[in-house]
Amino acid sequence: MANTIKIAPSILSADFARLGEEVAAISKAGADYIHVDVMDGHFVPNITIGPDVVKALRPHSDKIFDVHLMISPVDPYIEAFANAGADIITIHAEATPHFHRTLQLIKSLGKKAGISLNPGTPISVLENVMDMVDLILVMSVNPGFGGQKFIPASLDKIKSIRAMIEKEGRDIDLQVDGGINMETVQGAIDAGADVLVAGTATFVGGESKYAENITALRGR
């Protein structure tokens, strides 16, 4: 069975001019993880933020910083994100043929390690790293932008990965990212996801709505 549902607001949908305040507000509103989307304009067709911004945000929240690296190469930047205050560092399986090595590097720095799969990537790539990861991220949109439509085929993928985790009896977060809103959330939970990333759906309506948005997604 999946664990308690955790909500990980993606700050990609926050007001970038007031990022520190936004992170504080979403934390106070009940976020479990602060999901930080790092994009390089190379692995994905968008550019966001780097380790210095993560470091600047760190004092604004005591929540878990869940840093989603959509960058390639990735190895040269792992230490900087670790030092900046990331708690979980998630890399993409597609970003390097040596993702096993990258996961080792993350673990060697004392951080939790996550692996993410694009919608077109088969789950078989997970088989040989199940013992190394603390989090598996199923992309339910093609990464690069917030506000995209949930890809329904992601549900079968989540189910299959949930079965793998249960079969091996592992303590691994199963995270879903992209297009999570009030229409899609229940399907993702039913499929076995237990960490829900949501950008648009958590930040919509402004600060006075954040707590309500998070509670609604959590389903209680």
What is the smallest separation between the CB atom of 151 and ligand DX5, expressed in angstroms? 11
Tell me the C-alpha distance between 88 and 82, whole Å. 9
Summarize as ranges the residues that interact with Zn ion (CB under 5 A). 37, 68, 177
Two structure tokens written together for 166: 């249960």
Q: Is 37 a catalytic residue?
A: yes
Q: With binding defined as CB under 6 A, does residue 194 bind ligand DX5?
A: no
Nearer to ligand DX5, 85 or 144 (CB): 144
What is the smallest separation between the CB atom of 197 and Zn ion, expressed in angstroms? 5
CB 148 within 8 A of CB 168: no
3-state secondary structure of 6: strand
Q: With binding defined as CB under 6 A, does residue 94 bind ligand DX5?
A: no
Residue 18, C-beta contacts closer than 8 angstroms, at least 6 positions apart: none
Applying CB under 6 A, the span of 14-22, 76-84, 172-180, 186-194 interacting with ligand DX5 comes to 172-180
Applying CB under 6 A, the span of 84-92, 124-132, 158-166, 178-186 interacting with ligand DX5 comes to 178-186
Pick from 51, 114, 143, 192 the residue near ligand DX5 by CB under 6 A: 143
Residue spans of alpha helices (H) in the chain: 19-28, 51-57, 75-84, 99-108, 154-168, 185-191, 200-203, 210-218
Please identify which residue in the block is written with the tokens 């199963």: 174
Q: Which of the following is catalytic: 37, 40, 173, 194?
A: 37
Nearer to ligand DX5, 126 or 176 (CB): 176
Size of the site for ligand DX5 (CB under 6 A): 21
Q: Is 62 a catalytic residue?
A: no
What is the smallest separation between the CB atom of 37 and ligand DX5, expressed in angstroms? 5
Q: Which of the following is catalytic: 32, 40, 173, 177?
A: 177
Residue 81, C-beta contacts closer than 8 angstroms, at least 6 positions apart: 38, 51, 54, 67, 69, 89
CB 44 within 8 A of CB 59: no
Q: With binding defined as CB under 6 A, does residue 193 bind ligand DX5?
A: no
Positions that interact with ligand DX5 (CB under 6 A): 10, 12-13, 35, 37, 68, 141, 143-144, 146-148, 177-180, 197-201
**Which residues are identified as catalytic?**
37, 177
